[in-house]
Amino acid sequence: MLKHRPLMLKLLSALIVFGAWEIAGRVPVSYAFPTFIDSMAALARMTFDGSIFVAYAETLQPLVVGVLISAVFGIGLGLWIGLSKGFEWLFSPIFIVMQAAPLAALIPLLVMVYGIGLTSKVFVVCIMAMPVIVLNTASAVRNTPASLKEMATSFLAHDRDVLLKIILPAASPVIFSGLRLGVSAGFIGAILSELKITPTGVGDIITYSRSIADYPSMYAAIFSIILLAVIFLNLLEKLEDILFEGNNRGYAAD
Amino acid sequence: MQPIKPDTRQAVTDSAVSVRNVSKVYGDVQALKDLSLEFPRGELTSLLGPSGCGKTTLLKIIAGLLPATSGEIEVNGVKVTGPGPDRSFVFQDFALLPWASVIRNVAFGLELRGVAKSEREAIAEKYIREVGLAGFEKKFPHQLSGGMRQRVGLARALSVNAQVLLLDEPFSAVDEQTRRKFQEDLLELVKNEKKTFIFVTHSIEEAVYVSDQIAILLPRPSRVSEIIRPSSFRDKSVDNIRRDPEYLDIVDRIWASLRSYVE
Ligand SMILES: Nc1ncnc2c1ncn2[C@@H]1O[C@H](COP(=O)(O)OP(=O)(O)OP(=O)(O)O)[C@@H](O)[C@H]1O
Ligand SMILES: [Mg+2]
């Protein structure tokens, strides 16, 4: 019973949210707000006629490429900033500005430079995803307990051992939380780029169904993105469990 | 030419560690000033002194974790320039890897030396048993009490088989009963392991109980003010030491010389 508690709680909270959505749709809060059941019906229809898969084939390209670039370069850059003593003042501000910048205002600039193709969209995903990954990684690395590094040194660790056996495992919880935040932001970036640059993929479904007032389809598309993001984040959590098995011991909430 | 002459009764046996005229300055704080001290091989030497007088600093300089501002350290006649396989450290704050099991923590020093997994785990198991943690090999640090964690740190230091053990207040996190048990175990260890122990403690009684030699440090900037070598009760059984007149006498003497710094 207790073992299934987290799952039960998740289901319960999902039930409450969907229930509230259904009620709000029935009231209705706004004529443009469909009920949960209508939206699910639209999602089922798009799944069976395959249009949602076609759309995701399009949307996932900048998303996957952007998230991969952000993860690899973000963690790499974060490690470098965190390990180097003098460069923090130089690089951290760039990413803090990137994190705070109004992305919508930057998009026309990107389009001017890189056109309306995949490159611009990948850029938008990276701008959204990268800063939090870099900043989290850098601060996690910098906050590695000095006593653990000292311990390793006293037992004759090489720099490489200190990095792989002390700094990375110690930093991994914060790095992964940065990755989770970055991936969520990347999802937002991918959709934003499809809404602001050229309507393709899921962004196209949203734009198009809104223009013809097919609100259930619009909300179905939005819902599918959230669902995908949740699935992806859960996979990421599994990956963390596999890579850093010992980490959730002693840190885990319960 | 030395300003402070250490007690001359020492230097009968050869030294495993020699500290010569070591000074350490942190920014504007002078932690150690011209400190000289010999640590006889196979014996346990305690460093006793007021808080902040530089005991941890001295231990880390001997370990090669901190550079001395001036002066030099020799271990087995070789000048210390960094950490080496001849010394191992038991840290005041344990410094265990929270993501690693007890056995991996204990074997960590050997892991860093590239010893094969099966071999290092066999060695680690032996020392886990020796510090009384058999059965806890697969547990993680957060599942252990403070005293048990301290013993993991001790087992890790023992497992690399270094000639010199540097122990920084290794019994600070345990209750009085456990502490007495540890002190007895430590006496056994000194007898069986034939290693040189350098032991930092705040407790006068503990220092007198376990030591072959006690070095009393003055407050900052720290030098050795006195070296005491208990002579008569070391061979007695552990139960009788605390009743020995010399034991009580030395405890009183140390308290008399330290109390002026407390007031
Ligand atoms: N990294 C450092 N930077 C600056 N000052 C330091 C540093 N480490 C220690 N000190 C200073 O050096 C002095 C000696 O410190 P140390 O930790 O060696 O004392 P200690 O004798 O081990 O004290 P305690 O018994 O409380 O553990 C202290 O006054 C402390 O303020
Ligand atoms: Mg100390």
ipTM rounded to 2 decimals: 0.86
Mean pLDDT of the residues in chain B: 87
pLDDT, mean of residues A163-188? 92
- Domains of chain A are 37-243 (1.10.3720.10)
Distance CA A203, CA A218 (A): 9
**B13 pLDDT more than 80:** no
Is it the case that residue B11 has pLDDT exceeding 50? no
CA B225, B93, A146, A246: dihedral to nearest 10 degrees? 160
CA distance linking residue A57 with residue B244, whole number of Å:
85
> What's the whole-number mean pLDDT along residues A1-7?
70
Cross-chain Cβ contact A246/B91 below 8 Å: no
Mean pLDDT of A49-72: 92
| Both tokens assigned to A220 | 């179905």
Q: Tens digit of pLDDT for each residue in B111-122? A: 999 999 999 999
Average pLDDT over residues B33-38: 91
Q: Is the separation of the CB atoms in B211 and B45 below 8 Å?
A: yes
3-state secondary structure of A88: helix
Query: In the prediction, which pLDDT does B22 show?
Result: 92
What proportion of chain B, given as a percentage, has pLDDT over 90?
Answer: 51
Q: Is the CB of B26 under 6 A from ligand 1?
A: yes
Phi-psi map region of B161: left, alpha, beta (phi>0 left; psi -120 to 50 alpha): left
Q: Which of B147, B142, B130 is nearest to B102 (CA)?
A: B142
- Could you tell me which residues of chain A have a Cβ less than 8 Å from any Cβ in chain B? 145, 147-148, 150-157, 161, 165-166, 169-170, 244-247, 249-251
- Taking residues B33-53, what's their average pLDDT? 90
| Res. B262: pLDDT tops 80 | no
Residues of A whose CB is below 8 A from B109: 155-156
Of the pLDDT bands very low, low, confident and very high (cuts 50, 70, 90), residue A249 is: low
Contact between A251 and B98 using a beta-carbon 8 Å cutoff = yes
Q: Tell me, what's the pLDDT at B260?
A: 75
- Residue B18: its H or E element: strand B15-26
Give pLDDT, residue B21: 92
Which residues 6+ apart lie within 8 Å of A81 measured at CB?
A87, A88, A91, A92, A134, A137, A138, A141
Alpha-carbon span A116 to B58, nearest angstrom: 65
Q: Which residues sit with Cβ closer than 5 angstroms to ligand 2, an ion? A: B 56
Q: How far is B212 from chain A (nearest CA, A)?
A: 26
Specify the pLDDT at position B1.
42
What DSSP designation does A167 have?
Answer: I
Please name which of B185, B170, B196, B178 lies closest in space to residue B94, comparing C-alpha atoms: B170
- As a whole number, mean pLDDT of residues A83-98 equals 78
Distance CA B249, CA B145 (A): 35
Asked if B89 and A246 come within 8 Å (Cβ–Cβ), the reply is no
User: Is the pLDDT at B72 greater than 60, yes or no?
Assistant: yes
Within B124-260, strands assigned E span: 164-168, 196-201, 213-217, 224-228
Residue B2 has pLDDT above 60, yes or no: no
Q: pTM higher than 0.90, yes or no?
A: no
pLDDT in the model for residue A147: 92
Residue A139 has pLDDT above 50, yes or no: yes
Instruction: Tell me: pLDDT of A149 over 80.
Output: yes
Angle at B216 between CA B215 and CA B219, to 5 degrees: 140
Pairing label, strands B224-228, B213-217: antiparallel
Pocket test for ligand 1, best of B32, B47, B55, B200 (most atoms within 8 A of CB): B55
Q: Return the pLDDT at A86.
A: 72
Q: How many CB pairs under 8 A join A and B?
A: 67
pLDDT of residue A157: 94
Q: What's the confidence (pLDDT) of residue A29?
A: 80
| CA atoms lying within 13 Å on the CB side of residue B155 | 31
Q: Is the model more confident about A2 or about B10?
A: A2
User: What is the arithmetic mean of pLDDT over A219-243?
Assistant: 89
Residues 6+ apart with CB under 8 A from B143: A250
- Cβ of B53 less than 6 Å from ligand 1: yes
